[in-house]
C-alpha cells in the first residue's frame, strides 16, 4: 500500500479487489491514527478521502466516534444545506436542530444514536413538542423534521461516519387529512361583487382565476406578466415573497421580508390567463403607473405594492382579507382558501387533473388527486343521480 505523510491520503485495492482509502493523522498528544474509507468504486473512495482531507486542512474534521448528533447536524447544515435550501426551509431546519434536538437528544454521540432513541424523541415531540403552547407537534411538522434527520444521517452513512441510518426504521404518526376550506359558487360570486373598488380587488381576483400561492402572488413582477389582448396571455411564476424568522437583525427585528425561489421546481410554471382577467390586469397596470407618477413614486417592478410602492406584507394582506370578508358578511376563509376555491371550480368545470396539477405547480397529478379527490367524488354523486330519470 502506498505511504503518505500526515494529513494525506492513499487509495488502493485490497486483496479481495475492493477499493479502500486511508487518511493518516496525528492527535494532539502525537499519536498516529488512521481513518479508513470504503466504496464500490475508486471514484467513490476518492471523494470520501478528499472530503476528509479538506476538513482536516480547514480544521473542521471531527473524529466520528467523538462527534455528537447535534454537532453533526450543525456541520451538515452549514456544509450541505446553507446554499441549497429556500430561506423558509433553512429557518425550519435551524428550529428543529437548535430548539428541539439540542435540548433533548443532541448530546448523544452520533455513533451511539439508535432507532429506539429517535423513536422516543419522536414520541415526546408528538406529545410535548409545541414551543408556544401546550401539546405536541403536528404530524406534518414531525414528518418534515424526520425528513431533515434522515437526510443528515444519510450523509453520515455516505461519509462512513455510521454504518447505517437509524431513522430508516422509526415510526411516524399517521397523516391527518385536513379539511380544505373553499368558497361555494354563491360565496365566490358575492366576494367578486364586493371587491369592486377595494384595494384587494386585483390580487384577490387574480388569485381566484390562477390559484397562485400567496407568496407567489405577492412576489409577482410585471416582467413575468405577459399580456397579449389578441392572443394567449399568461403569468410566469419565478419567485416568492415571504416573511421569515431571522436572527441577528439590526434594530431588534425578529422577522424580515425575503424574496426567494418557489416551493419546488414544479412551482416554476406558466399560468394561462382568461381574456377578461388579462384585460383587467392591463387596466390595473395603467392605473398603477398613473398613481406612481402622481405621487412621485419610483416603481419597484412588482405587480402588487402598498401605497408607498413597497412590498405588501403577507401578514397585512391576510388581515386585510379577513376584514374584507367580515365587512361584507362572507364566511371567513384564509387566503390559501382562494387557491382551493380555484382548484374546486376548475374541477367542477371539467378541467383534467393533470392540467390542474400543472397550473397549481404540484409535483405530481397523484398529489393533486389526493388533495382534491373529494371534489371528484361529489361530482360523481351528482352526475349519477341523473340516471334516476330512467327508473
**Residue 228 and residue 361 share a domain:** yes
Edge-first strand order for the sheet with 32-39 is 8-13, 19-26, 32-39
User: Span 237-259, mean pLDDT?
Assistant: 76
Whole-number Å distance between alpha carbons of 197 and 28: 74
Judge whether 2 lies within some domain: no
Judge whether 79 lies within some domain: yes
CATH number at residue 159: 1.10.150.130
pLDDT over threshold 60, residue 27:
no
Judge whether 1 lies within some domain: no
Judge whether 391 lies within some domain: no
The reported pLDDT for the residue numbered 160 is 79
**Residue 354 and residue 334 share a domain:** yes
Torsions phi, psi for 120 (to 5 deg): -65, -35
Range of the domain at 246: 185-384
The reported pLDDT for the residue numbered 250 is 47
**Residue 114 and residue 14 share a domain:** no
The reported pLDDT for the residue numbered 391 is 62
The reported pLDDT for the residue numbered 247 is 56
**Residue 348 and residue 201 share a domain:** yes
Average pLDDT score over the chain: 88
**Residue 128 and residue 105 share a domain:** yes
The reported pLDDT for the residue numbered 282 is 97
Domain count, the chain: 3
Judge whether 177 lies within some domain: no
The reported pLDDT for the residue numbered 368 is 92
Give the tens place of pLDDT for each residue, 57-91. 665 555 667 899 999 999 999 999 988 888 888 88
Contact assessment for residue 199 and residue 320, using Cβ atoms and an 8 Å cutoff: yes
The reported pLDDT for the residue numbered 284 is 97
Judge whether 179 lies within some domain: no
Most confident of 175-179, 261-265, 361-365: 361-365
Least confident of 29-33, 100-104, 118-122, 223-227: 29-33
Judge whether 389 lies within some domain: no
User: Span 368-386, mean pLDDT?
Assistant: 74
Amino acid at each position: 500500500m502506498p505511504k503518505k505523510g500526515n494529513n494525506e491520503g492513499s487509495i488502493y485495492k485490497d486483496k479481495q479487489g475492493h477499493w479502500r482509502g486511508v487518511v493518516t493523522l496525528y492527535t494532539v498528544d502525537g499519536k498516529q491514527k488512521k481513518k479508513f474509507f470504503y466504496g464500490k468504486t475508486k471514484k467513490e473512495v476518492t471523494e470520501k478521502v478528499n472530503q476528509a482531507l479538506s476538513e482536516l486542512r480547514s480544521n473542521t474534521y471531527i473524529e466520528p466516534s467523538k462527534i455528537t448528533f447535534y454537532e453533526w447536524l450543525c456541520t451538515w447544515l452549514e456544509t450541505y444545506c446553507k446554499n441549497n435550501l429556500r430561506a423558509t426551509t433553512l429557518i425550519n431546519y435551524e428550529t428543529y436542530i437548535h430548539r428541539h434536538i439540542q435540548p433533548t437528544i443532541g448530546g448523544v454521540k452520533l455513533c451511539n444514536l439508535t432507532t429506539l432513541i429517535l423513536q422516543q424523541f419522536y414520541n415526546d415531540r408528538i406529545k410535548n413538542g409545541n414551543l408556544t403552547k401546550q401539546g405536541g407537534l403536528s404530524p406534518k411538522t414531525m414528518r418534515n423534521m424526520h425528513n431533515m434527520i434522515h437526510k443528515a444521517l444519510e450523509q453520515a452513512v455516505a461519509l462512513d461516519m455510521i454504518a447505517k441510518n437509524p431513522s430508516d426504521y422509526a415510526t411516524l404518526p399517521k397523516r391527518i387529512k385536513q379539511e380544505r376550506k373553499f368558497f361555494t359558487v354563491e360565496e365566490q360570486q358575492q366576494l367578486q361583487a364586493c371587491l369592486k373598488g377595494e384595494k384587494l380587488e386585483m390580487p384577490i381576483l387574480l388569485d381566484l382565476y390562477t390559484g397562485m400561492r400567496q407568496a407567489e402572488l405577492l412576489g409577482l413582477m410585471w416582467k413575468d406578466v405577459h399580456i397579449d389582448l389578441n392572443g394567449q396571455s399568461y403569468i410566469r411564476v419565478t419567485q416568492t415573497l415571504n416573511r421569515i424568522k431571522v436572527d441577528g437583525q439590526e434594530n431588534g427585528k425578529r422577522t424580515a421580508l425575503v424574496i426567494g425561489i418557489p416551493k419546488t421546481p414544479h412551482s416554476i410554471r406558466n399560468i394561462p390567463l382568461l381574456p377578461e382577467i388579462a384585460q383587467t390586469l392591463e387596466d390595473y397596470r395603467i392605473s398603477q403607473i398613473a398613481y406612481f407618477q402622481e405621487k412621485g413614486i419610483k416603481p419597484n417592478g412588482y405587480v402588487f405594492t402598498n401605497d408607498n410602492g413597497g412590498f405588501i406584507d403577507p401578514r397585512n394582506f391576510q388581515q386585510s382579507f379577513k376584514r374584507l370578508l367580515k365587512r361584507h358578511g362572507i364566511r371567513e376563509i384564509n387566503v390559501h382558501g382562494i387557491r382551493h376555491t380555484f382548484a374546486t371550480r376548475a374541477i367542477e368545470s371539467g378541467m383534467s387533473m393533470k392540467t390542474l396539477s400543472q397550473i397549481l405547480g404540484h409535483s405530481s397529478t397523484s398529489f393533486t388527486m389526493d388533495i382534491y379527490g373529494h371534489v371528484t367524488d361529489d361530482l360523481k354523486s351528482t352526475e349519477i343521480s341523473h340516471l334516476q330519470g330512467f327508473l
